[in-house]
């Protein structure tokens, strides 16, 4: 049985994407979003979140492309989980936040 906690709690175990070429990175993000695979979307979200944190710590601005794909992946993940569990996206966000804290 599919459980939201499997993706949220185990997000620590999801690998980040390691791609140096910026154009290749965007293509990978697009390809992953097309799969609608929740675990892969968590990987994109985790990667982009960590990239954002690193840039902010270095005093740099965030990258617009990264922000765009972060929001897309987040929205796709919430939609997929809401559909699979037959609950609203708002409820998904609440459950995710409860499992992260």
Q: How far apart are CA 101 and CA 99, in angstroms?
A: 6
The per-residue pLDDT string of the chain (101 residues; one tens digit each, 9 = 90 and over) reads 456 656 555 677 788 888 888 889 999 999 999 998 888 888 899 899 999 999 999 999 999 999 999 999 999 988 888 888 888 988 888 877 776 55
Structural domains in the chain, CATH included, are 4-100 (1.20.58.1290)
**Which positions ≥6 away from 64 have C-beta within 8 Å?**
none
User: Which two tokens mark 62?
Assistant: 């965030």
For residue 9, give Cα distances in angstroms to 12, 14, 17, 41: 7, 10, 19, 14
**How confident is the model at residue 99, as a pLDDT?**
62
């Amino acid at each position: 049985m599919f459980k939201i906690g499997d993706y949220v709690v185990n997000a620590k175990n999801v690998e980040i994407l390691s791609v140096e070429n910026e154009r290749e990175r965007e293509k990978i993000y697009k390809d992953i979003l097309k799969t609608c695979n929740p675990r892969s979307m968590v990987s994109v979200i985790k990667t982009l979140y960590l990239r954002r944190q690193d840039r902010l710590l270095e005093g740099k601005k965030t990258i617009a492309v990264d922000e765009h794909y972060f929001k897309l992946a987040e929205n796709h993940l919430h939609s997929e989980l809401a559909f699979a569990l037959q609950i609203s996206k708002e409820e998904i966000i609440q459950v995710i936040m409860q499992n992260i804290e």
